[in-house]
């Protein structure tokens, strides 16, 4: 194999990994603040993907353009979910929260199955076969657009948490729940907002993912696991960690697909997950939580 292939596959894997990273960023934000592990994360991603596909096939709306409205829809979904169902569970035992979200996940997967059927669907944009060439390096235009959009969305989220008053309030809730209550923050509303923001990440990522993969309802649980692998590798609760984890997993899977069977690629991600859990459970950038 010529050497360019490795480079091309690596770059393509990194760009895909970036989009996965954005999805995982949502998971990490939710866990970091609300302390609830969103077992329905991949399922929410597939909701976003199906919205994007429906908009494209019915109205010819480009998923990259529709990214913002889809993110807004998912924000509303996430906000309602947290405010309506999850908030009463924040002080319940962990397994109780898991089971709640697992129930939501099961319902989402199978409703999508009933509505859209089990067949894989995809989007054919006019630029699907375009590519950029830099020397020997050939990259899909779609992946470059998606990568750039991911960086923009992530940057916006970082800026929100760092510079806005609400962002600071949310970080205060994450740092000290009781302290946040004492200074009079409306923690439940901030939690709902955070869950909404996490869901919005998922919305944006989902809109981009339809350009990269075919969607089936069964993708939901697979993406939930992928999200876990990424955030645990990067550090559960750490925002830059999620993106770095995404890049790492994207690269690992691309390389494993090249050197071994593509069907075995996620085995390497799981292997990586097990190693990280054992030797650095807080992840690459995470802080150990008691």
Partner 1 sequence: MMARLIEGVPRRALVLLALLLAGLIVAPWLANDYLITTLILILYFAYTGQAWNVMMGFAGQLSLGHAIYVGLGGYASAALFVHFGIAPWLGLIAAVAVAVACGAIIGFLAFRFRVGGVYFAILTIAFAEFARIGFDHLSWVGASSGFFLPVANYSRSDLWNLRGSPTMFYYVILALTVGAFVLCHALLKSRMGHYWQAIREDEVAARSLGINTFRYKMYAVVISAGMTSVAGVFFAFYYNNLFPEQVFSIGRSIELILSPVIGGIGTLFGPIVGAFLLTGLSEAMQNLLSQLGIDVPGAKQVFYGLCLLAVVLAVPEGVWPWLKRGVGLKGEST
Provide the binding-site residues for partner 1, judged by CB under 8 A. Answer: 37, 85, 92, 94-96, 98-100, 102-107, 109-111, 113-114, 118, 217, 221, 225, 228-229, 232, 236, 261, 263-264, 266-267, 270-271, 273-274, 277-279, 281
Residue 246's nearest CA partner among 272, 264, 267 is: 272
SS3 at position 124: coil
CA distance 78 to 194: 8
Residue 79's nearest CA partner among 202, 219, 241, 237 is: 202
CB of 47 to partner 1, least distance (A): 15
CB of 260 to partner 1, least distance (A): 9
- Residue 68 CA from chain centroid, whole number: 15
CA distance 48 to 56: 12
Of 155 and 289, nearer to partner 1 (C-beta) is 289
CB of 75 to partner 1, least distance (A): 22
Of 69 and 280, nearer to partner 1 (C-beta) is 280
Strand partners, 132: 139
Instruction: Count other C-beta atoms under 10 Å from residue 30's C-beta.
Output: 28
CB of 287 to partner 1, least distance (A): 14
CB of 230 to partner 1, least distance (A): 12
Burial 107-142 (b: 16+ CB within 10 A, else e): ebbeebeeebeeeebebebeeeeeeeeeeeeebbeb
Of 138 and 255, nearer to partner 1 (C-beta) is 255
Of 102 and 144, nearer to partner 1 (C-beta) is 102
SS3 at position 116: helix
Of 4 and 94, nearer to partner 1 (C-beta) is 94
* 244, 247, 252, 258 alpha-carbon torsion, rounded to 10°: -170
Of 100 and 202, nearer to partner 1 (C-beta) is 100
CB of 30 to partner 1, least distance (A): 12
């Amino acid at each position: 194999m010529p050497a360019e292939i490795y480079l091309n596959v690596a770059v393509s894997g990194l760009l895909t990994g970036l989009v996965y990273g954005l999805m995982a960023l949502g998971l990490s934000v939710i866990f970091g603040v609300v302390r609830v592990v969103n077992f329905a994360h991949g399922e929410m991603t597939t909701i976003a993907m199906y919205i994007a596909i429906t908009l494209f096939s019915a109205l010819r709306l480009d998923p990259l353009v529709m990214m913002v409205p889809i993110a807004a829809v998912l924000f509303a979904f996430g906000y309602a979910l947290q405010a309506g169902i999850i908030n009463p569970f924040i002080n319940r035992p962990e397994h109780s929260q898991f089971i709640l979200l697992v129930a939501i996940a099961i319902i989402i997967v199978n409703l999508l199955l009933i509505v859209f059927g089990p067949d894989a669907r995809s989007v054919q944009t006019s630029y699907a076969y375009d590519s950029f060439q830099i020397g020997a390096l050939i990259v899909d235009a779609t992946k470059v657009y998606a990568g750039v959009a991911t960086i923009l969305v992530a940057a916006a989220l970082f800026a929100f948490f760092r510079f806005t008053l609400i962002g600071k309030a949310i970080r205060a809730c994450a740092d000290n729940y009781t302290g946040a209550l004492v200074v009079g923050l409306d923690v439940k509303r901030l939690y709902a907002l955070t869950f909404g923001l996490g869901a919005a990440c998922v919305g944006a990522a989902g809109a981009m993912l339809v350009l990269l993969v075919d969607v089936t309802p069964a993708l939901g649980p697979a993406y939930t696991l992928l999200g876990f692998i990424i955030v645990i590798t990067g550090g559960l609760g750490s925002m830059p960690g999620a993106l770095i984890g995404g890049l790492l997993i994207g690269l690992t899977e691309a390389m494993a697909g090249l050197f071994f069977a593509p069907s075995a690629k996620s085995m390497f991600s799981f292997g990586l997950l097990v190693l990280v859990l054992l030797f650095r459970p807080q992840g690459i950038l995470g802080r150990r939580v008691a």
